[in-house]
Amino acid sequence: MTDDAQTAVPPLTSLPDERGRFGDYGGVYVPETLVAALRELEKLYERARRDDRFWDELRWLLTRFAGRPTPLYRAERLTKHARSISERKQAATIWLKREDLAHTGAHKINNTLGQALLTRKMGKKRVIAETGAGQHGVATATAAAHLGLDCVVYMGSEDARRQHLNVVRMKLLGAEVREVESGSRTLKDATNEAMRDWMGSVENTHYILGSVVGPHPFPMIVRDFQTIIGREAKAQSLRSMEGLPDAVVACVGGGSNAAGIFFPFVPEADVRLVGVEAGGSSDALGHHAAPLKLGAPGVLHGSMSYVLQDEHGQTAPVHSCSAGLDYPGVGPEHSNWKDTGRAEYTAVTDDDSLDAFELLAQSEGIICALETAHAVAHGVRLASQLDDKQNLVICCSGRGDKDVDEAARLLAERAQRPGERERASDLKLAPKP
């Protein structure tokens, strides 16, 4: 099957139960004012999911406007580095699923185009969105501009500082960017404000939620629109590797790129699925953003999932060098995959992600997002534990234009840290002779 044919097929869909749950997780925990809107969205999506014309229009947008399919790229020099750090001097071949090459520079466009088409089907003229790293905000603004919708994006002021380039892009695309000054001024706070807006404007507004989080049916809808990543990767692997990969690795904040690439591989028991969270600066509460590794079940933004909480059960502050992973919760389907053991989850520190950010740039000429760098760091180490006959796919979820200034600042600060020159890292290239 060709990549174009893959794009034309409506997504695989595993429905949550009648309560909107994946196992123990998910559900609808929202004010009564939003229940009717969620039911309307669920019924509309149920019809759209069976409408060939809907998928034909989305396929046209994905192929002709968003630039799909994205390549599955064999990273020869990154593989060589993994082999060099292996005790056995063997490593799996590393492949990158290049979502950074999609229009707007990340996987987010797959979801925003789909939800913008749903907005038009509902007869609504205005969309809102939350954003952390800015990529979902840019993708929402792009879809809104293309389809003639009014657009407001909520973004924490700290994230707006870190991701100034994307703020400029959103405004250029005609979106209004509302900076949020409450709380930690990051993604959680932007989501809070977007939810408040939606409660007061639900009659004419659709909330284009950016990840596989929130109340049902959002986790299902966003996952379905993002499965194009995994469906392409699966078909491309069968051609390029003459089989399926041994492991698939993706970063996890809310978890949309990971859910998108994992889902088509879920039935393939021999394929390891590995999600990588933000380990921040330590395992201490408030110093990381790793709810699957260090959190506990709780309710956040309308659904039950793993959440980082303090001793009083309140949502805890989080930290990551990556604005897109700086979130205290995760999608309910990831929580279910963790509990059932179908996917495994780990965390990578700020330091290791910065090292991987430089490693990918210098070994392959690809400047990835800091979110993606977390997956690269763990993916390289995992590849070094496998053998030469195996294959590992990393979801390159986004490009790093937006992160260059922030990464430069963090690297400069780190260079002044006592002991930095002596710090050993297996994620750094050996100096050139």
Q: How far apart are CA 102 and CA 25, in angstroms?
A: 31
Q: 31-65+108-219 adopts what CATH topology?
A: Rossmann fold (3.40.50)
pLDDT of residue 420: 87
Q: How far apart are CA 408 and CA 360, in angstroms?
A: 15
Q: Which two tokens stand for residue 225?
A: 């629109």
Query: Which residue did the predictor score with more confidence, 430 or 147?
Result: 147
Average pLDDT rounded to a whole number, residues 226-244: 97
Q: How far apart are CA 196 and CA 138, in angstroms?
A: 21
Q: How far apart are CA 277 and CA 255, in angstroms?
A: 9
Residue 391 forms beta bridges with which residues? 93
Of the candidates 188, 197, 216, 129, the residue with the CA atom closest to the CA atom of residue 314 = 188
Q: How far apart are CA 116 and CA 218, in angstroms?
A: 13
The helix or strand, by DSSP H or E, that contains position 260, with its residue range, turns out to be helix 256-262
Q: Which two tokens stand for residue 288?
A: 């990381």
- Considering only the top CATH level, what class is 72-104+226-415? alpha beta
Q: Return the C-alpha torsion angle 74, 78, 81, 82, nearest 10.
A: -70
Q: How far apart are CA 433 and CA 426, in angstroms?
A: 18
**pLDDT classification of 329: cutoffs 50, 70, 90:** very high
**pLDDT classification of 6: cutoffs 50, 70, 90:** low
**pLDDT classification of 415: cutoffs 50, 70, 90:** very high
pLDDT of residue 5: 46
Query: Domain spans of the chain?
Result: 31-65+108-219, 72-104+226-415
The helix or strand, by DSSP H or E, that contains position 98, with its residue range, turns out to be strand 93-98
pLDDT of residue 7: 57
Q: How far apart are CA 395 and CA 377, in angstroms?
A: 12
**pLDDT classification of 422: cutoffs 50, 70, 90:** confident
Parallel, antiparallel, or unpaired for β 25-26 and 272-280? unpaired
Q: Return the C-alpha torsion angle 139, 142, 144, 150, nearest 10.
A: 100
- For residue 323, the SS3 value is helix
**Local structure of residue 289 (DSSP, 8 states):** B
364 has pLDDT over 80 = yes
Candidate from 263-267, 297-301, 321-325 with smallest mean pLDDT: 321-325
Of the candidates 213, 166, 164, 167, the residue with the CA atom closest to the CA atom of residue 315 = 213
Task: Provide the annotated active-site residues.
Answer: 108, 130, 397
198 has pLDDT over 70 = yes
pLDDT of residue 4: 52
Digit-coded pLDDT (tens) for 285-302: 999 999 999 999 999 999
230 has pLDDT over 90 = yes
Average pLDDT rounded to a whole number, residues 59-88: 97
1 has pLDDT over 80 = no
- For residue 272, the SS3 value is strand
Of the candidates 153, 140, 144, 139, the residue with the CA atom closest to the CA atom of residue 124 = 144
Mean pLDDT of the chain: 94
Instruction: Answer yes or no: same fold for 31-65+108-219 and 72-104+226-415.
Output: yes
Digit-coded pLDDT (tens) for 16-58: 998 999 999 999 999 998 999 999 999 999 999 999 999 999 9
431 has pLDDT over 90 = no
Count Cα atoms within 13 angstroms, Cβ side, for 203. 1
